[in-house]
Each structure stands twice: as C-alpha cells, then as structure tokens.
Amino acid sequence: MSTSEVKRKLISKIKSSKDESLLRDMYDVIKDESRQEMLVLSNDQIQAIREAEVQLSKGKFLTDAEVRKNTSRWLGK
C-alpha cells in the first residue's frame, strides 16, 4: 500500500469515526511525531522482554480477569 493510499484511508476513517477517545488517542500519537525519542533499554530489560515473548508464544500468561481475581484473593478482598 502506498503512502498516499494509507493517508486516504486514514483520513476516511477519521472523518467517519464517532469514537472521541480513539480520535484523541490518534491525535496524541501524531501531534508529537517530530519529538519522538528513542527509548534505550538495558541488556536486562531486553532479556526480560525476550523471556516474556517466549512465555507468551507458549501460552504462559494470565488474562486481565485472572490477574484481577488473583490480586483480590491475595489482598483478601
């Protein structure tokens, strides 16, 4: 897909969207485009991300609902 086609599709979606939250999020992403900074990760952070990706690919994760249930149980709620 060409850049001009991507632009046309984005403009079309933006014009037809009634989701204010989505529109604000999109605006937040593009308004600071020129001020993006590169995030530098430590080796430990990179390794933790790689381990998490492996766990995820093996289905070793909890859903949001499971985390909330466990947290409530741990906190005695």
Task: Walk along the chain (77 residues) and give the pLDDT tens digit of each residue.
Answer: 899 999 999 999 999 999 999 999 888 888 876 666 777 899 999 999 999 999 999 999 999 999 999 999 999 87
d(CA 48, CA 58): 15
d(CA 70, CA 77): 10
Q: Is 51 helix (H, G, I), strand (E, B) or coil?
A: helix
For residue 26, the tally of other CB atoms under 10 A from its CB is 15
Does the predicted TM-score (pTM) go above 0.85? no
